[in-house]
Amino acid sequence: MPRQTPFHSRTNALCESQNWVEWSGFFSAQTYEMDHIHEYNAIRLGAGLFDVSPLFKYFIRGRDAVALMNRVITRDASKCGVGQIFYTAWCDDEGKIIDDGTVARLGDDFFRMTAATPTLCWLQDNAFGMEVEIEEVTDAYGALALQGPTSRDLLQQLTDADLSSLKYFRMLETKLAGVPVNISRNGYTGDLGYEIFAEPGQCEKVWDALIETGVAYKLMPAGMVALDMVRIEAGMLLLDADFHSASTAMFEVEKTSPYELGLGWMVNLKKDHFVGQGALRRENARGPATCTVGLEIDVLALEKVFVQNSMPLQLPYQSWVDTLPVYSDSDQRDHIGRATSGTWSPVMKKYVVIGRVKPQYAKIGTQVYVEQTVEARRYAVPATVVKMPFFDPPRKRG
């Protein structure tokens, strides 16, 4: 049976739908209301509050903490300043992604790492011979993500810290409603937002203060359905949807590298040895086999498919994470890749999709065809390769 997060007494009371899923062994709300759309609108027009406590969390301390981080992640940990956060990936010896997550530098020789999958044993294996302490602290902290255009103004009502000076992917220690917390300016929605870490015994007080104060800022608790829609709009990848972990994939074809996922910018080949470096150097020299791209489906063309079946246009009401074939031609003879997740974006009024295609089809403006099934018949619907993220408001970094 799933466990309860430190916020469960509050999330359970507000979850009218009682629609729960298991996330890393914890209860996680899919939606709070019977329908997700109000939660989606709150994230984009006000603020959404997510319980992200199930994320795996690790402390890495000691003289060799920087050396260990540099051995396991693709970015240069020595360039991460105290109070800064890196979004990064870590790979196996073949340069295939095991997972992605954040690394926060809490002190000169002190890091916090968050991950979607259990990472403790892998960290310990790579720390052999090093003077470093690795501690899993998943249960030691509850975590919230407060995301949306009103999130800063809302938080500012509850803390004396000057949040206007907190830069993107930076963090600070402060008090929120009198509770000691760690606040970082990042998230998984592509909007202005923050993540808040607090000790379990104080989590309910933090939640109550945010909910009470948030009424004036259009705050709503939000679940995984709304989160998946906004992360696709933000062009953010999801494990077991847009890629699979190399540690659990059964077949080589299921594995992907940072270059194939559009994350080549986070691979520092010039730093000292890290896991997968040799393979990534070879791939960088020859180029990736596939490229992750944004696709915008031609809604008018899709409507014609429905009309052929004497049906009105039907757009996805929430996101999907199926694997759909992508072709270079309308006859569906030249298979060039796959679509991995997509959503109709209410805020942009566009049908957007994340996919992977052969490099020659990854140029912005290229027309491709995504397979869509209507009444048990498969159709090739035109789509255009577009820049990601699809949704990228200036307030995210401003």
Phi-psi region of 41 (alpha: psi -120 to 50; beta: other; left: phi over 0): alpha
**Alpha-carbon gap, residue 369 to 297, rounded angstroms:** 8
Tell me what the mean pLDDT of segment 201-208 comes to: 98
Question: What SS3 state is found at 139?
Answer: helix
Q: Which two tokens stand for residue 280?
A: 């990534």
- Average pLDDT for the chain: 97
pLDDT (0 to 100) of residue 57: 98
User: What pLDDT is attached to residue 397?
Assistant: 95
pTM, two decimals, is 0.97
The fold of 8-53+141-222 is Gyrase A; domain 2 (3.30.1360)
- The predicted-structure confidence for 294-329, as pLDDT tens digits, reads as follows 999 999 999 999 999 999 999 999 999 999 999 999
Going from N- to C-terminal start, the domains of the chain cover 8-53+141-222, 291-395
For 108, the token pair is 């000169």
**Could you read off the pLDDT of 240-274 as tens digits, one per residue?**
999 999 999 999 999 999 999 999 999 999 999 99
pLDDT in tens, 69-93: 999 999 999 999 999 999 999 999 9
Closest by alpha carbon to 74, among 254, 217, 273, 219? 273
pLDDT per position as a tens digit, 331-363:
999 999 999 999 999 999 999 999 999 999 999
pLDDT, position 324: 98
33: buried, middle or exposed (CB in 10 Å: 19+, 13-18, 0-12)? middle
291-395 falls under which CATH superfamily? Aminomethyltransferase beta-barrel domains (2.40.30.110)
Q: Are 8-53+141-222 and 291-395 in the same CATH fold?
A: no
| Res 158: pLDDT | 98
